[in-house]
Structure 1
């Protein structure tokens, strides 16, 4: 089950800054590769993407990478074209780029707002803008999976208005496009992670832990989850795999929330 043998998966944001642990994009790329997909990745920095590529190839998988700025139309088009020119098709598109900057509308600078909208939201428009025409011409269609966040569903305890707004917009972008393309053989869905333990989380702990107490910072995040633990990148990757596989062929315009129960809880997160 959940095999992707021979399918071409284009993934953005698959870079890994160290060999310690797994980020969401890297774990998704590895999981899809383990299930037989051929990976083509775009990432802002090549060294980070190369680390993921090496991990995939060490397990016998296939992964090509290309430096890509997904906020730039020409760079994004070049990525899609390179993947299509090499493989002649794109079966799966995974959009996994994003960044959070603090601030409410009164305090956030306009340039920060614009940067957040470009990175978190425009990037998804650009990749789908170039990939959807390819997918709808394929007899087997294709599937697009966008990675959002529970910050797009509820307030999660810190002011990050641009991040929350763009993550909510991703879900509606996905729903609307899914309906438009439902009769063209192309499915679009969203994975919505909650509090996930990744190398990036550890970096946040180093930066924001009160008094430098990283252990207490991590415990606080664990305690915010009804399951009393953060998820990890593999939890998100497994949900993404399901949406990429044929077993989910009648699912489109939906969200899978991977959050340990936070968005079902009335407690403060």
Structure 2
């Protein structure tokens, strides 16, 4: 019960179509299991409701909420709903991100519309969510903000918008950590490596017309640790630690959850 009596908003708590569990859903479930009341937020209300239904078999209580992070008023309504429901917000976990599904491409092939769409979801949405939760957390003089970036921010990566947006998300999270430290607000980012999730694997299989098994084998071979991708539960457990009081003196960090990918980079 490491999050007992905490109120947590998990943005991107639904998941893409495919096998297994996505990062956002896993975080919502883990937070609920550890005693938090959770608002499971997704642009697809049905997916948010599915997450809430699963979470409510394990935890204190999870409510679904439909919101679009590219619409600031929708984000504002989400924060208003949470405060009206519980009176406070202890944890904001931003797990929204797109790449392949947003038509990301190389620097020579990227289009304006694809770049703008990916940046709006991956970066601007995070900024707007944080913008509207900060007044709540400042009144409380307490709060945790978690963002999910990617090791792609630092690794070689072929497509421009995802990499740029995730690198910017790290910088933004660090800015929040230092600017609001005096208000008791902690901000940290998680850097997943190669993960076996519906978004990472099944989306690629559909987009490139390849089998799921081929995508899994190709990605597994690139992971230093046991030649096996991580799962959404690895991300969820990292988020749980950073959200809990066990990490009370930790802010402004980038936590790789990557099976050794970043330490395998040439120096």
TM class, shorter-chain normalised?
over 0.9
Which of 213, 216, 237 is residue 218 of structure 1 equivalent to? 216
**Aligned residue number for residue 67 of structure 1:** 66
Which secondary structure does the structure 2 equivalent of 1:28 belong to? helix
CA displacement at 1:207 relative to structure 2: 2.2
Q: Which residue of 2 aligns with 1:143?
A: 144
When residues 179 and 76 of structure 1 are mapped into structure 2, their CA distance, relative to the original with a 3 A threshold, is same
Partner residue of 2:22? 23
Q: 1:7 touches 1:36 (CA, 8 Å); kept in 2?
A: yes
Cα pair 1:14 1:43 within 8 Å, conserved: yes
Alignment match, 1:119: 121
Tell me the distance in 2 between the aligned counterparts of 1:134 and 1:88.
Answer: 9
Aligned to 2:233: 234
Which runs of structure 2 are paired with 1:33-52 in the superposition (5 Å)?
Answer: 33-52=32-51
- State the partner residue of 1:104: 106
| Alpha-carbon contact 1:16-1:48 (below 8 Å) kept | yes
Task: Report if the CA contact (8 A) 2:145-2:187 is conserved.
Answer: yes
CA distance in 2, matches of 1:19, 1:64: 23
Q: Single out whichever of 72-81 and 56-65 deviates more from structure 2.
A: 56-65
Q: TM-score, normalised by structure 2?
A: 0.93
Residues 74 and 209 of structure 1, relative CA distance in 2, 3 Å threshold: closer
CA distance in 1, matches of 2:67, 2:20: 23
Whole-angstrom CA distance in 2 between matches of 1:213 and 1:17:
17
Question: What RMSD over aligned residues (CA atoms) do the two structures have, in Å?
Answer: 1.6
How has the CA–CA distance of structure 1 residues 204 and 18 changed in structure 2, closer, same or farther, with 3 Å as cutoff?
closer
Equivalent-residue separation in structure 1 for 2:54 and 2:16 (angstroms) = 13
Gaps of 5+ in 2: none
1:152 maps to 153
Given the superposition, is the C-alpha separation of residues 174 and 60 from structure 1 closer, same or farther in structure 2, using an over 3 Å criterion?
closer
Q: Write the deviation string for residues 121-140 of structure 1: whole angstroms up to 9, x where unpaired.
A: 0001000000011101114x
TM-score by length of 1: 0.93
Task: State the alpha-carbon separation in 2 of the partners of residues 244 and 220 from structure 1.
Answer: 33
| Contact 1:205–1:218 (Cα < 8 Å) also in 2 | no
1:225 & 1:79 partners in 2: Cα distance? 37
Aligned residues: 262
Pick closer, same or farther for the CA change 1:63–1:208 going to 2, 3 Å: same
